Chains A and B, each alone.
Chain A
Amino acid sequence: MKKNLSAIVTGAGLLILWQIGAGLAGISHILPRPTDVLVCLWNKREVLFKVHMVETLKAIVIGYLIAIVIGVLLAVIMDLSEKLEAMMYPVFVIIETIPIMCIAPLFVLWFGYTLSARILAIVLSTFFSITVNTFDGLKKINKESCELMKTYGAKTMQLFWHIKLPTALPYFMTSLKITFPWAVIGAAIAEWLGANRGLGYYSKLMVSKLDGGTVFAAVLILSVIAIAGIAVIKFIDRKFVFWRSDI
């Protein structure tokens, strides 16, 4: 809490400096004042929110949800089968290292400037991390706890529910905190590649039109989405994964 306070204070200070500095510099087409940005946000609100933000949000939400489902499913499958784990895990770890996002041009070529292309790009660039991290969590189970449960006669399903799931949950939550920003970024950059709507596309357009205020506004909305998403994840983490420190 204290650390957040100093961040807020520093942030507020920077904002004030920005307001004054930008006002003095007078180059509002590339460095608008915070007030200019807010004005743009208000004036262009129909377009920004109803058209572009919706478009980007669709990609993020659908793409990320699919990524979570695939990610968790694969993690569980690998946990259940040692053979599958041996086959797939090393491959996934390698894919985590390579810039898989760079395959997005292929999707744009296949599907054109559509939502599907971008959703595919987001899914591909995020689910590997979710899989690997969740799997690591499943594997971190305390061997002794498992053996104890087995002596109580627990079957695989019960073992999974009572021990493996709770142990893996923190790791899963961590993978979400890491990958969600990438989902947001992925949506934006896929739009730079090919889109005719969306906050990423719009900010790019406004750069060429030298409309600094709107560029900042679009970037601001994207940032808020990212921050809000992480805040939600952290909230869920605190509420439901509260035993974390005991592991």
Chain B
Amino acid sequence: MLEFKNVKFIYKSGVKEPILENLSFKVEDGEFISIVGSSGSGKTTIFRILNGLEDIQEGSVEIDGQDIRGLKNYSSYMPQKDLLLPWKTIEKNVMLPMSIQKVDKDLQKERAIEMLKQVGLEEYANKYPKDLSGGMRQRVAFARTLCAGANLLLLDEPFSALDYITRISLQEWLMKQWLDVKKTIVFITHDVEEAIFLSEKIYVVSGRPITDIEIKEVDLPYPRTREMLLDPRIQRLKEDLIDKLRTTEEEE
């Protein structure tokens, strides 16, 4: 579904060394994969390229075989902060991507209510962001992301600003959502356990420049529970990933 082909990327300002060099990887349709790496490792850069917010120097990025440079609305982006507009109701916030894409107004409202139902917050449609808790606002942001309509969802550390309990509840919730809507999800996190809990595969990003990705499979069935994390194989995988991230942290 998504393919990076020999991508090279350099920040226009300053640093001569590319961040990504000859990078290639694939993500299959309907997969849930996490990109994991220490801070500043380049995971956000990969996202910004996927988003269309940055342009690459060499190589290509393709969605279903087509170069993203010619495409519109091929991915839906969920940023770290919910970024809900405080002057709009929850419903209007969810409708935002559709109103920008000039979708028919009645259809907008229909889909918005549908997505709010999906995330379990339809009764808050006429409330404002300030009336909701942090966790609820992230769920609304997810509904908005679904309304942007693409089959590829890019989630950028969506839970990192929340407290621990809310975070693990939302992880379980996100997994159920994914099993339900069946979209392709690329998820960034620095929390190794979160990555293991949610994803089928973990893409480890390290080195500078990033030339390839190490893929770790998480061999657990869905739907997953937190008990499964206690399995010694999983524990070993977790320690393995932590080690890997630590060494790259030290190298840098």
The answer to whether A and B touch in the complex, with CB atoms under 8 Å apart, is no
Interface residues of A (CB under 8 A from B): none
